[in-house]
C-alpha cells in the first residue's frame, strides 16, 4: 500500500501526468450534452479549473489522500509553458487551414470584418469604461476584466506593460483577468452552439455557403516542391519560428504606447501567409489536413489546461476578495460585445450564419470558441472568417487596454 501511495504521489508531482489526466477528464465532460449543446473541447478548461481549485487552492482533491503535489510556483511556470505551446500550435494550425482562402475572403468582406472587430472591441471597451465610472471600480481591475472577458492574452499583456511600475495595479489587472476569463471562454463556446439552434438554421446549407468562398480561391494543380517530412512538422515548426520572430517587432504609437503582434499574432499571420503561398522557395509549406486538425485540437487542449489550472487555483480566493458582483461585470463585457457583434454581422453586414459566428470568435479573440464552432459547422472553413477578424481585433484590444489604464 505504501508503495502504491508512493507511485501515485510521484505521478501527481509530474506536470505531464497532471496535464493528460485533466485532458482525459475534460474530454469525458465535453461529451456530455444537454439538448444537443455541450462544452466539447472546452470541457478540458472546466476540468482544469476544477483541478486547479481542489488540487491546489484548498488541496482537498489530493491532500486528503496524503498526496503532495508540485509547488504553486512550479505549477505556474509549467502551466505557462503548456499554455504558450498549446496556443502557438492552435493558431499556427488555424493559419495554415485558413491560408488558401484567406486573402480572397478578406478582399471580399474586408469592410465587414473591420466593422465587426470595431463593434466588438468598441462596445466591450465602452462597457469597461462605464463599469469603472459608474461603480468606482479601479480602471486597472476593469481592464483586467475586459481582457479576461475577451480571452485576450495580448490585451492583458498590454495592460500590464502600461502599469509595469505599479505592483498593486498589476495585481488588480491579474485579478480581473482571472475572474472574467472562465465565463469569457465558456460563454462564447455555448453561444456559437446555441445561436444556430435558436434560429433553426439549416446546418447543411450554411456549411455549403461558408465553404463556397474559401474554395473559390484554391489553387489549381499541385506543384513539385521539396518536403521536409511527410507529416509537415518541419514546415509547421518553421512557421512557428518565423511567427514568434515577427511577433517580437514593436511599433511605437502616439502617447508613449507601443504595439506588437506577440507570439500569437505573429504565428497566425505567418501561417496565413505561408498557407496561402504554399512554399518558401523550393520548400513546400502545404501540410496534410489530418496533421493540421491534430495539431489544432492538441494545441487547443493544451492551451485550455495551461490557462485553466492556475486560474482555478486562484479563482475562488479572488472572487471572495472582490465579491460576486465583479463576476457580473466581467460577464457583461463578454455578453454585450458578443450579442451586438452578431446582430451587426447578420443584419448590417449581411454575412451568412457561420461567417457571422466565425467573425464573432475572431472579434472576441476566442480560441476555444473557434474549436466549438468548427465542431458545430462540421467544416474548417469557418476558420477563414476568424482569421480575417482576429488581427484587427487584436490591434484594437491592445490599444484599448493601454489607453483605458492611462
| Domain residue spans of the chain | 95-298+322-404
pLDDT grade for 73, boundaries at 50, 70 and 90: low
For the segment 10-43, what is each residue's pLDDT rounded down to a tens digit? Answer: 666 677 888 898 999 999 988 887 777 777 777 8
**Is pLDDT above 60 for 70?**
no
Helices (H), 248-323: 262-277, 289-322
Instruction: Determine how many CB atoms are found less than 10 A away from the CB of residue 237.
Output: 13
Q: pLDDT tens, 97-115?
A: 878 777 777 777 788 888 9
Exposure string of 332-352, with b = 16+ CB inside 10 Å and e = fewer, is bbbbbbbebbbebbbeebebb
Cell numbers of 376, please?
A: 458545430
Task: With a cut of 50, say whether residue 353 has pLDDT above it.
Answer: yes
Average pLDDT, whole number, for the chain? 81
Conformation bin of residue 223: beta by default, left when phi > 0, alpha when psi is -120 to 50: beta
- Residue 154: the pLDDT is 65
Average pLDDT over residues 234-245: 92
Q: Which of 220, 222, 158 is nearest to 397 (CA)?
A: 158
Residue where the block lists cell 489607453: 403
Rounded to whole angstroms, the Cα distance separating 255 from 85 reads 33
Q: pLDDT value at position 220?
A: 47
**pLDDT (0 to 100) of residue 322:** 78
Residues in the chain: 406
3-state secondary structure of 33: strand
Residue 125 has a pLDDT of 93
Confidence of residue 221 (pLDDT cuts 50, 70, 90): very low
User: Radius of gyration of the chain from Cα atoms?
Assistant: 21
- Over 60: is that where the pLDDT of 169 sits? yes
| Residue-level pLDDT at 71 | 61
What does the DSSP 8-state code read for residue 379? Answer: S
**Distances in whole angstroms, Cα of residue 171 to Cα of each of 87, 108, 160:** 24, 43, 9
Q: Which residue has the higher pLDDT, 377 or 6?
A: 377
Most confident of 210-214, 219-223, 244-248, 401-405: 244-248
pLDDT at residue 219 tops 80? no
Q: What is the mean pLDDT of residues 52-65?
A: 61
Confidence band, pLDDT 50/70/90 cuts, at residue 122: very high
Q: Is the pLDDT of residue 404 over 60?
A: yes
pLDDT at 140 over 90: no
DSSP letter assigned to residue 63:
G
Residue 217 confidence (pLDDT) above 60: no
pLDDT of 378 higher than 80: yes
Amino acid at each position: 500500500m505504501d508503495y502504491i501511495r508512493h507511485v501515485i504521489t510521484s505521478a501527481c508531482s509530474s506536470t505531464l501526468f497532471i496535464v493528460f489526466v485533466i485532458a482525459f477528464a475534460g474530454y469525458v465532460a465535453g461529451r456530455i450534452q444537454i439538448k444537443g449543446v455541450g462544452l466539447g473541447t472546452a470541457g478540458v478548461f472546466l476540468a482544469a479549473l476544477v483541478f486547479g481549485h481542489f488540487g491546489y487552492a484548498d488541496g482537498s482533491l489530493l491532500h486528503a489522500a496524503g498526496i503532495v503535489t508540485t509547488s504553486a510556483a512550479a505549477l505556474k511556470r509549467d502551466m505557462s509553458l503548456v499554455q504558450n505551446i498549446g496556443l502557438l500550435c492552435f493558431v499556427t494550425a488555424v493559419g495554415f487551414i485558413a491560408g488558401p482562402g484567406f486573402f480572397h475572403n478578406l478582399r471580399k468582406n474586408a469592410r465587414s470584418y473591420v466593422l465587426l472587430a470595431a463593434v466588438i472591441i468598441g462596445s466591450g471597451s465602452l462597457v469597461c469604461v462605464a463599469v469603472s465610472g459608474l461603480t468606482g471600480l479601479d480602471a486597472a481591475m476593469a481592464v483586467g476584466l475586459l481582457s479576461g472577458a475577451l480571452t485576450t492574452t495580448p490585451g492583458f499583456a498590454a495592460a500590464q506593460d502600461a502599469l509595469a511600475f505599479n505592483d498593486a495595479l498589476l495585481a488588480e489587472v491579474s485579478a480581473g483577468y482571472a475572474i472574467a476569463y472562465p465565463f469569457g471562454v465558456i460563454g462564447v463556446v455555448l453561444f456559437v452552439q446555441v445561436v444556430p439552434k435558436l434560429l433553426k438554421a439549416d446546418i447543411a446549407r450554411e456549411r455549403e455557403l461558408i465553404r463556397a468562398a474559401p474554395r473559390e480561391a484554391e489553387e489549381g494543380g499541385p506543384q513539385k516542391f521539396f518536403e521536409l517530412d511527410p507529416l509537415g512538422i518541419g514546415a509547421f515548426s518553421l512557421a512557428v519560428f518565423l511567427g514568434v520572430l515577427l511577433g517580437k517587432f514593436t511599433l511605437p504609437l502616439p502617447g508613449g504606447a507601443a504595439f506588437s503582434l506577440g507570439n500569437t499574432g505573429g504565428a497566425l499571420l505567418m501561417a496565413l501567409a505561408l498557407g496561402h503561398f504554399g512554399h518558401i522557395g523550393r520548400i513546400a509549406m502545404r501540410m496534410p489536413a489530418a496533421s493540421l486538425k491534430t495539431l489544432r485540437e492538441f494545441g487547443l487542449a493544451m492551451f485550455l489546461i495551461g490557462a485553466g489550472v492556475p486560474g482555478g487555483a486562484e479563482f475562488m480566493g479572488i472572487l471572495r476578495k472582490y465579491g460576486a458582483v465583479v463576476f457580473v461585470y466581467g460577464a457583461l463585457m463578454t455578453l454585450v460585445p458578443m450579442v451586438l457583434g452578431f446582430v451587426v454581422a447578420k443584419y448590417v453586414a449581411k454575412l451568412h450564419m457561420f461567417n457571422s459566428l466565425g467573425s464573432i470568435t475572431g472579434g472576441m479573440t476566442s480560441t476555444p470558441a473557434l474549436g466549438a464552432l468548427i465542431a458545430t459547422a462540421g467544416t474548417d472553413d469557418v476558420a477563414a472568417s476568424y482569421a480575417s477578424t482576429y488581427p484587427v481585433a487584436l490591434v484594437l484590444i491592445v490599444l484599448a487596454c493601454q489607453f483605458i489604464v492611462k
